[in-house]
Amino acid sequence: MTVSSLTTKNSYSGDASTTTFAYGFKIFASAEIKVFIRSAAGTETLKSLTTHYTLTNVGNASGGNVVFESGSVPSNTETVVLIRDTALTQTLDLVENDPFLSGSFENSLDKVTHQMIELQEEVDRSFKVSKTNTITSAEFTDNAAGRASKVLGFSSN
């Protein structure tokens, strides 16, 4: 399989009756998806597989569904956020002189690609300076006490 989609997240508004929400990306295992409920106040709650929801089509290239259990259905003031979260491990072990399993190798490459796409999505949400900026270090060297009650900002210098 090739990885042609950069989608790592789907977001939906709850309505107190919809129980099924689609995730539009491949996950290789049920542990590779995080299901959050975001309240109107901005509080994010991570939900648990089997306690709050079940999954369909794990391993399907086009994704599947998160199905909320009764009692866990998102209300009309909540947002459902589904995020792919591929483990940062590599589990393929190629044994010398064994037959080459192209499917296993391709899945391993797909997982690395998923990891890179997820990392890029995080980098895209980060504060950055321009490529031509002369800042040589963005490291914070003050300890926690020195940073307490301070705001990140910029002076005229």
Cα 101 to the chain's mean position, in Å?
Answer: 28
Distances from the Cα of 109 to the Cα of 20, 21, 52, 113, 131, angstroms: 30, 28, 32, 6, 30
120 or 93: which leads in pLDDT: 120
Specify the amino acid at residue 135. I
Distance CA 108, CA 90 (A): 7
**Mean pLDDT along residues 60-83:** 96
- Is 10 a residue whose pLDDT tops 80? yes
**Mean pLDDT along residues 70-90:** 94
pLDDT on residue 142: 82
pLDDT per residue over 115-147, tens digit each?
999 999 999 888 888 888 887 777 778 888 888
